[in-house]
Amino acid sequence: MPLTRADFHEQNQASVRVEARRLFEQKVVLQGSWLGWVASQIYILRPAEYASMVRRELARLQELSEN
């Protein structure tokens, strides 16, 4: 039986948070070159649904850091 979207999300949420945090932490290190670097890192993530989850989590972390 194929995974539902909810199942996929639930199974991957923990690793998505770890991956997004790892990428986000490089922002301080890479500074101005971070955006290009992080885009390239997200581009290679598979499947695309996983990459989207990481992108959304990064956006959430970014928003939290600005507030």
* Residue 49 forms part of a structural domain: yes
User: Looking at the domain assignment, is residue 40 inside a domain?
Assistant: yes
Across 4-19, average pLDDT: 97
Whether 9 is in a domain gets the answer: no
**Does residue 31 form part of some domain?**
yes
Q: In the prediction, which pLDDT does 2 show?
A: 82
Indicate the burial class of 25 (C-beta count within 10 angstroms; 0-12, 13-18, 19 or more).
exposed
Q: What is the spatial distance between Cα 54 and Cα 33, in angstroms, rounded to a whole number? A: 19
Quick check: is 1 in a domain? Answer: no
Residue 62 lies in a domain: yes
Please report the DSSP string for the chain in residue order. Answer: -PPPHHHHHHHHHHHHHHHHHHHHHHHHHHGGGHHHHHHHHHHT-SSHHHHHHHHHHHHHHHHHHH-
The predicted-structure confidence for 12-64, as pLDDT tens digits, reads as follows: 999 999 999 999 999 999 999 999 999 999 999 999 999 999 999 999 999 99
Structurally, how many domains does the chain consist of?
1
Domain membership of residue 36 (yes or no) is yes
Residue 37 domain boundaries: 14-66
